[in-house]
Amino acid sequence: MDISGLSLLLTLFILRPAAKASAEEITWTYSGLVGQSEWSEYFPECGGTAQSPVDVITTQTKYDSSLIPVTPLGYSQHGNKPFTLYNNGHTAVIELPEWMGLGGLPWLFTAVQMHLHWGSGGPSHGGSEHTINGLSADAELHVVHYNSELYPNMSAAMTQRNGLAVLGILIVVIKGLKTGEETNPGFNNILNYLSRIRHAKQSAFIPAFDVQTLLPKDLGRYYRYNGSLTTPPCYQSVMWTLFNERVQISKAQLLKMETLLYSSTAEEPDRMLLQDNYRATQPLNHRVIFASFSAESGKELSPGEVTAIVIGVMCGCVGLAVIVRFIVKTIRFFRLLHLETVVVNNSSTSSWDILHNNRPAPMPRTKKPEEDEKKQDMVMNSTSDGEIKDKPETDP
Ligand SMILES: *[C@@H]1O[C@H](CO)[C@@H](O)[C@H](O)[C@H]1NC(C)=O
Ligand SMILES: *[C@@H]1O[C@H](CO)[C@@H](O)[C@H](O)[C@H]1NC(C)=O
């Protein structure tokens, strides 16, 4: 057998398992051998045209008044049965009871699980999957539901259009607080138990808790678009709801998320920290992101902007007062001139002509009721200068 025959055999031998293995047994990662850019080689949908996450460019979103607030159903009725917390090697997953669901969408959706995505560098170093105007949050919570009106279960729904509804909650570390202060108690229901599932494939029962405490208060303002699972197999079946309001956690809480878990199993000799488990934003490809609120009315004013507006309004009022005063004085002045013209000079010049010329018509310098006009203001003086100043003092 010659060299080319051998290399052909070798090639076939090497290629065949790879081609066959393009299913669940492929261990994908966020970086490395089967990193994000390789996902689509094994999971074709990851190379699709409606992928998630995306960057939300707020000026390019489209306001849709039909987008009513989403309503969590049974999120607070957690009961006594513990939740299961699981390290799947990619994230920490909390399985949710099937009586939890989501309303406010065209179909009824049933809750399945929730999980987190985070970074590695502490606050302000990325970690969220979705970004808004190019800006990352520190972490992101996803609450996954399937369309239980159209499909019998999660596995049937996840490959179908409108099969899933995922809530995306951006998480940021509260600024200006010392480490440990002002924790978000809702998130401790998860974070306090991460130490029990440090290695991949480990799971633990955790006390059931009110899942709604993890959501922002304002469920009425969100972005909606058609997208995908953000992990392989990247099925393009998700109606995304990304809330406008971010939830806050402490720096210590973020550090627990970022440093406690391993992507490696307990049996593996090399421990691999589970970090930076967020996918890069994907092209929109002509998709439209809808907003349940109009960007302008929703904008909150900063103290600086409020001050600027107050000063602006005050200046405007003062300016208006000056103009009104000027007009009143001008009218009074020309009315007097007109009287003089008619009475004293008996000329044919009308007050209209005078106003039209915007200055007094030539006329004999007779008299002027100085008492009435002695408080001429500067505006008046500058416009009709000489005429007023050298008025004779004689009264008719
Ligand atoms: C989900 O539903 C499909 C279609 O009815 C069924 O074939 C499948 O066995 C179900 N899977 C699970 C996990 O229940
Ligand atoms: C998602 O796609 C469906 C068509 O399958 C369309 O009717 C719907 O308006 C889209 N939703 C959004 C938010 O783009």
How confident is the model over 243-294, as pLDDT tens digits? 999 999 999 999 999 999 999 999 999 999 999 999 999 999 999 999 999 9
251 lines ligand 2 (CB under 6 A): no
What is the reported pLDDT for 385? 44
Structural domain containing residue 277: 25-309
Q: Which residues of 286-299 are buried (b: 16+ CB within 10 A; e: fewer)?
A: eeebbbbbeeeeee
Averaged pLDDT of the chain? 82
What is the reported pLDDT for 327? 74
Least confident of 8-22, 143-157, 305-319: 8-22
The one-letter code for the residue type at 126 is G
Q: Which residues contact 210 (CB under 8 A, 6 or more apart)?
A: 75, 76, 78, 186
Ligand 1 center from residue 159 Cα (angstroms): 12
The closest-lying atom of ligand 2 relative to the alpha carbon of residue 161 is: 5
In a domain, 316, yes or no: no
What is the reported pLDDT for 374? 45
pLDDT at 96 over 80: yes
In a domain, 362, yes or no: no
Q: Is 17 helix (H, G, I), strand (E, B) or coil?
A: helix
Ligand 2 center from residue 278 Cα (angstroms): 25
Ligand 1 center from residue 151 Cα (angstroms): 9
What's the first-to-final CA gap in the chain, in angstroms?
133
Say if pTM beats, i.e. exceeds, 0.85. no
Higher pLDDT, 135 or 4: 135
pLDDT at 366 over 80: no
- State the sign of the Cα–Cα–Cα–Cα dihedral 168, 194, 247, 210: positive
pLDDT at 226 over 90: yes
In a domain, 354, yes or no: no
180-to-26, 126, 164, 255 alpha-carbon distances in Å: 39, 20, 36, 11
What is the reported pLDDT for 229? 98
Number of domains in the chain: 1
What is the reported pLDDT for 333? 66
Mean pLDDT calculated for residue range 38-52:
97
107 lines ligand 2 (CB under 6 A): no
CATH of residue 279: 3.10.200.10
What is the reported pLDDT for 251? 95
What is the reported pLDDT for 174? 86
- For residue 291, the ligand closest to its alpha carbon is 2
Catalytic residue, chosen from 90, 115, 117, 130, is 90
Residue 338 annotated in active site: no
pLDDT at 61 over 50: yes
- For residue 66, the ligand closest to its alpha carbon is 2
How many whole angstroms separate alpha carbon 239 and alpha carbon 369? 80
In a domain, 385, yes or no: no
- For residue 157, the ligand closest to its alpha carbon is 1
pLDDT at 331 over 90: no
Which residue's C-alpha comes closest to atom 13 of ligand 2?
225
In a domain, 350, yes or no: no
Which residue's C-alpha comes closest to atom 8 of ligand 1?
156
Read off the pLDDT of residues 101-123 as tens digits, 9 standing for 90 and up. Answer: 999 999 999 999 999 999 999 99
pLDDT at 224 over 70: yes
pLDDT bucket at 340, cuts 50 / 70 / 90: low
pLDDT at 302 over 70: no
In a domain, 51, yes or no: yes
In a domain, 39, yes or no: yes
Pocket test for ligand 1, best of 155, 158, 159, 160 (most atoms within 8 A of CB): 155
In a domain, 329, yes or no: no
